[in-house]
Structure 1
């Protein structure tokens, strides 16, 4: 991890017009997709009142999007490799826009659940094309800045989703209540569809046949893994959930054998086994699993603590979490230059260590806040500090891992990384949930702040452990000394 920038690639500040147009469009698409992931959480009370959705219905509205998105990401990325980024970008944008319309006009819980699943599948086709476009269409000396901007969008969208939802629901324009949080995607989608033919660079693709057997197997594998992790705790960890989890390693073995056989035959597997020969890719996937297992769950359980323990409204909750996103946005925008000066591995290590230290800072702050009075304000310094670490990881990690991936594998590799992020988030929700809900039965409203504070401190301690483990993975990669010329992928 020592020494000068290995690649010798300078960081150029300005994008030429074709690159600038492509970056602008795909980042707008990324913001829409990422904000939509969390936007429905704030609208749950309004949805329940308006269409009579039960608690299990609401769980399926949230889980349906997450699972559908995660299980199709690898296939969605590979479709871009095979049939062209622009084509799949437009198909994904059209499908997501129509799915948003279906959600916005839904008259019952079943229709809204189906619409959310449709949204998730559409997002799985669209999002890998965003990453692949930044990887392929942007010159190497400006690619780090492009991924840094993507990191800033990820950070901003995380907190913007709940804030936008709170404002739209409060406005209740023309009696739309919660429906506008979905219908607002329509004008954005129309712009994406109209501009994509001119602003997303053409890519002919490999023109090979999709690996249908591999696609089906990986979907079944991810369903077996994610469905229990996503809704298992809320259903009391039923027997079927454990049976599905037991099927996951069997399906993984089948998938790997299928892919190896296709590669030996000279065909195009869904996920080329040769990708796993690169230690940066292997450790990068592990980093996504471990690091993001601490990020999304924290927002979920901290939101529960504020709303149920202290009576915060949706907008106040989003505002209390804004410092985390603000800190992440600041360092994301600077991350390309930081990597160019200090190397990618040092930047990643600093980010992970800052996140771990920030989590410890949060635990201390909560421990000192016995009454919870002004907890949101008291947590601001710790959350801002932790966010600074997050911004040093998001963009640099993605660029570092993809640096040596072949162009015709970029979509599939992007899908794998995004899938690892989703699996990590779901695993984190389940694991941190064990600490947060230890021995709890009943309604959250029955718990007061003192109990939730203790649970939140335990959950944050689990997150701190995950950040520490991510730091160890960076050190492992650095110690391996096999990063070649990409130790500074920026």
Structure 2
């Protein structure tokens, strides 16, 4: 396949076609409401990272407890995404969106008021569950309420927001912790969600179109066996990735990863048999058969692994090796976050000749930027202005690898399959992020341990090795970008 222009999208529901009393349905307002919720929920995946040292001191948290505070959100979020997508299809996207947003907002308040590590872990798990219910509805609402060029623009904005949440979380977290508002320390990283969530609940209840009770997906069951098997497979994959480094990669982590592969194979076999019997599998086979979906899954997983590994390792280095404050560490990532968002919103306006090389070129630029960052910091210095130039290059490259891939993968997904596609691709991106943090974080930490006492130079050496590995992963993405062009 040589074309780089996304295929014409299938017709979607016209905004306002099922207007309810008290609603004011306008496409721009729908997009603003759902993307604000998307950004807020994604922010909380990373916003806690820079607050972790303060949380540990104030709550006297153990290393394992602190790890669960950070990872608890991610675990329930990743495990329940597919479930959230199917609930939206069955019960109505607007209704489930509002429920997920309410749960997320209430859990954020509870996190901010927690008085012990145990309470904070429990409420982080609940917060992740609310996010998993909320996030899949965002893409489904976009798919169902936009058509043609407007739909493509909305998907571009969705891609930009989805991918900038990580870096923005570091920046916002650093600002809030450093500000120490009213002496509250780490608590504003959670409490900031409360007023935003309350306003968003009121706005979304007014601007989102009423659910259409005649939608065909309402008649489909929840496929409970499939949900259980997929949830078990994702859990078995996620938990060791999240906790493995902290625990020293004991035997149970490898057993769990092996079990994840076995359970997933059983899940695939069961889903295939269910589809052949005329049942309603958890993920529609038509979604998996969308042209280029397999390559898109690989590219999305690769770019999110590189992005999350890049941010995680560099964050560890600048805070641990260079001694940056939470605020300075957060602001270091601002250039990357800004260009990621700008490129995600504008790449479709570039020339057709240039667009043919966007995906492989983006991965290649990300690879070069990873090598540049590693070399600039290898002597224990801060890299000066050239570091920010390399970070901008990395942001541009990873945005070009991510945004066109996601937009084009969704271009041929029919509106009635939006729930399946949203849950599936959101899970892929989340698992990509987890894999990147686990794999490249382990390389970095192992490099420090091999050199004895930590310091700026040992951290810089470990960073260089990690960023060479990140560059290799990005190069694989560039190769995958060439495969589709030759087809």
Question: TM-score, normalized by length of structure 1?
Answer: 0.90
CA contact (8 A) 2:85 2:422 kept: yes
Alignment match, 1:301: 313
Aligned to 1:165: 173
Alpha-carbon deviation of 1:120?
0.8
> What residue in structure 2 maps to residue 427 of structure 1?
435
Kept after mapping to 2: 8 A contact 1:5/1:342: no
Task: Find the aligned partners of 2:226 and 2:72 in 1 and give their Cα distance.
Answer: 22
Q: How far does the alpha carbon of each residue in 1:142-163 deviate from its partner, in whole angstroms, 9 at most, with x for none?
A: 2222122223334543333233
Q: CA deviation at 1:43?
A: 1.1
Residue 134 of structure 1 pairs with residue 142 of structure 2? yes
Matched, 1:69 2:77: yes
* In the alignment, structure 1 residue 98 sits paired with structure 2 residue 106: yes
Aligned equivalents of 2:107, 2:451: Cα separation in 1: 32
Q: Could you report, residue by residue, the CA deviation over 1:346-371 in whole angstroms, capped at 9, with x for unpaired residues?
A: 3222222221222222233234xx24
Quote the offset at 1:284 in angstroms.
0.9
**Residue 216, structure 1, aligned to residue 224, structure 2:** no
- Distance in 1, matches of 2:132 and 2:42, equals 11
Structure 1 pair 449–172 and aligned structure 2 pair: CA distance change class (3 A): closer
- Indicate the SS of the match to 2:44: helix
In 2, the alpha carbon distance for the partners of 1:469 and 1:72 equals 29
Q: Hey, what does 2:454 align to over in structure 1?
A: 447
* Structure 2 residue ranges without an equivalent (≥5): 10-14, 17-24
Equivalent of residue 375 in structure 2, options 350, 361, 364: 364
SS at match of 1:257: helix
Q: CA deviation at 1:81?
A: 2.0
Indicate the residue corresponding to 1:484 in structure 2. Answer: none
For the residues of structure 2 that align with 1:336 and 1:126, how far apart are their CA atoms? 28
Comparing 188-197 and 462-471, the one that deviates more: 188-197
Task: Please report how far the alpha carbon of residue 227 of structure 1 lies from its aligned counterpart in structure 2 after TM superposition.
Answer: 0.8
Residues 245 and 215 from structure 1, CA distance in 2 versus in 1: closer, same or farther, beyond 3 angstroms? Answer: same
Q: Does 1:152 align with 2:164?
A: no
1:379 is paired with a residue whose SS is helix
Give the CA deviation at 1:222. Answer: 0.4
Task: Note the C-alpha offset of 1:416.
Answer: 1.5
Q: Distance in 2 between matches of 1:408 and 1:371?
A: 53
Q: Summarize deviations over 1:78-109 as a string: whole Å, max 9, x none.
A: 22222221111111101101111111111100
State whether structure 2 residue 476 is matched by structure 1 residue 464: no
1:278-297 alpha-carbon deviations (Å, 9 max, x no partner): 34111111112222111111
- 8 Å CA contact 1:75, 1:412 repeated in 2: no
* 345 and 89 in structure 1: CA distance in 2 versus 1, 3 angstrom threshold: farther
Deviates more, 1:426-435 or 1:343-352: 343-352
Compared CA separation, residues 43 and 437, structure 1 to 2 (3 A):
closer
Q: Is 1:347 matched up with 2:358?
A: yes
Offset, 1:441: 4.2
Give the 3 Å change call, closer, same or farther, for CA 343–275 of structure 1 in structure 2.
Answer: farther
Long gaps (5+) in structure 1: 10-14, 481-490
How far has the Cα of 1:443 moved from its partner?
12
The runs of at least 4 consecutive aligned structure 1 residues that moved more than 6 Å come to none
What is the deviation of 1:7? 4.3
1:231 to 243, 265, 269: 243
1:393 to 401, 415, 424: 401
Shift of 1:225: 0.7
Alignment of structure 1 residues 314-333 onto 2, 5 Å: 314-333=326-345
Q: Give runs of aligned pairs for residues 257-276 of structure 1, distance below 5 A.
A: 257-276=269-288
Q: In the aligned structure 2, how far is the partner of 1:433 from the partner of 1:72?
A: 25
Change (3 A) 1:276 1:345: farther
Partner of residue 246 from structure 1, selected from 255, 258, 262: 258
Change (3 A) 1:4 1:303: closer
Contact 1:306/1:317 (<8 A) preserved: yes
Q: Does the CA contact (< 8 Å) of 1:293 and 1:425 recur in 2?
A: yes
Whether 1:410 and 2:418 are equivalent positions in the alignment is yes
Contact kept, 8 Å, 1:155 with 1:326, in 2: the verdict is no
Match of 1:174 in 2: 182
Note the aligned Cα RMSD (angstroms).
2.4
Query: Larger deviation: 374-383 or 234-243?
Result: 374-383
The answer to whether the Cα contact below 8 Å between 1:293 and 1:429 also exists between their aligned partners in 2 is yes
**Is the 1:5–1:343 Cα contact (8 Å) retained in structure 2?**
no
Picking from 63, 73, 77, the partner of 1:55 is 63
- 1:292 maps onto 2:298 in alignment: no
Q: Distance in 2 between matches of 1:107 and 1:472?
A: 50
How many residues align? The count is 470
Matches within 5 A, 1:476-487: 476-480=483-487
Mean Cα displacement is larger for which, 459-468 or 142-151?
A: 142-151
CA distance in 2, matches of 1:241, 1:155: 28
